[in-house]
Amino acid sequence: MGQKLLRLIFFGNYFVGLLAIALTIESTLQLGLPFNSAAYYLLVFLAPIIYYTYAYMGVSISADTSNPRTLWYASHIKQVRFTQQILLLICSIVALYLGIHNIKGILALPVGYWIGAGLIGLVAILYYGMLPLFSFNLNLRNTGLLKPFVIGLVWAATANFFPLLMLKIETGTAIGGSSLWYFLFVKNWMFCTVNAIMFDMKDYAIDYNNQLKTFVVRIGLQRTVNQVLIPLLLTGVVSLVIFAGYRHFPVGRLLFNLLPFLLTIVVAYSMNMRKQIFYYLIVIDGLILIKAICGITSMLLFK
């Protein structure tokens, strides 16, 4: 029973929905903004589940007999499709409710918000190559080196842009392009990009056979850790320390926000040996949850 529940939560991407909510709450507290409506948080939880599950909707047993996640989807495909339909229906109802309830706010939304939402939406669509073939067939998921930066960008937008957009729609609350907002956006972008690069390491053999030039395929596991992950993480640490000094953050808040970076460095060095898939799903993705918890805790304890 425990193993079945674990597979459902992590293979079924429900943990990803939790991460989206956690990052949204973290950024809301860090920016000192009001919380979004409960309907919005339900949408934030459901949308990533549907989005990430989409990639596995067409799997079969013959597709990859060595990948436990693929095997789980292949053996539960009917249940997954049914669940996708239910979640998509709920998501559509919630989105329709928010649209009707906030129609005035939507129509009054400044053009900058529309442009930002449109660009992020386009990136999300191109990640799966879902534009019609008669336009151009670009699939960002198959771009190798670019893929983790695309994932990081979408996660940063989920945490730092869309909550602001919905607050503007729902309450009229607006926040200008402050240095804090830009810093938090870039910090989330880079942290989630590092996380995506680490996650790509589990698919080294598959990506190599498919000639998908990810960082680990192109330069190898050891060099990816030493020449990509560690420099990005150390840059994040230095940037955080400098920005904390500039904004006069309390020392406790700085230390709490540094902890996820330091833990990620430790995990990055542990990637020299191949891990089981649950290591990636729980430990590596769990770093995002730890980051959100540390950010939330730092705001609650150190005003």
pLDDT for position 303: 74
pLDDT for position 228: 87
pLDDT for position 240: 93
In angstroms, rounded to a whole number, what is the distance separating the alpha carbons of residues 281 and 286?
7
Ranges under pLDDT 50 in the chain: 63-64, 134-135
Neighbours of 128 (CB within 10 A): 14
193: which 2 tokens? 């990009």
pLDDT for position 291: 96
pLDDT for position 145: 72
pLDDT for position 134: 45
Nearest by Cα to 184 from 301, 33, 44: 33
Dihedral sign for Cα atoms in the order 217, 218, 223, 226: negative
**Which pTM value belongs to this model?**
0.89
pLDDT for position 289: 96
Measured torsion, CA atoms of residues 19, 234, 190, 51, in degrees rounded to the nearest 10: -40
